[in-house]
Amino acid sequence: MTEENPRLSAREMIEKLEPSLSRWRRVRAVTALLAGLAGMVFVIALWWSEPGPLPGRTQLGFAMFVVFCLAWAGYGAWLLTRRVPMFVTDRVIAAWIAVAASVATTTLLAVVAVQRGAGLALALVIGGVFTLVSAALAVRAHGRRAALLRRIRELQPPGEQSSP
């Protein structure tokens, strides 16, 4: 009978306590992957089926949506391939995708509103709300990740280094 080492590293403790990809994370990953792929197919089909040449800003809008959908699909695929605890890295990445999408969409809507000469305030208010919510989620995710990493450092025996 072999005796286990009674002193486990913080990483080993966490790996034993939590499966690396829980059911909820798998559902979230599959949802992001499928939603990203479905959105991309839908936007490309809509873009391709438009009769005649589209204005530049419309093409830019379609291209932005395709990029956002690809980002979410890539995020879902990345999340599904992770086999180690992520220490909330997945939430930080998702929050930054949301921030980038909110800022880019708000900017595009503001440019369109200015060119049309109406609705700029409404576009900025709605876009600002989405941007503020996504930024708040990013700050929260960074804070949670920092707290987890701080706790890991506290659990590490002196002289042992880990890099999550």
Residue 155: its pLDDT value, please? 79
Q: Taking the domains of the chain in order of start, what are their residue ranges?
A: 10-155
pTM above 0.85, yes or no: no
From first to last of the 164 residues of the chain, give the pLDDT tens digit: 444 555 666 666 665 555 556 788 888 889 999 999 999 999 999 999 988 888 888 899 899 999 999 999 999 999 888 866 677 888 899 999 999 999 999 999 999 899 989 889 999 999 999 999 999 999 999 999 999 888 888 877 766 655 55
pLDDT of residue 7: 67
Pinpoint the alpha helices (H) of the chain.
10-17, 23-49, 56-81, 89-116, 120-155
User: How far from 156 is each of 10, 133, 145, 159, CA to CA, in Å?
Assistant: 6, 35, 17, 8
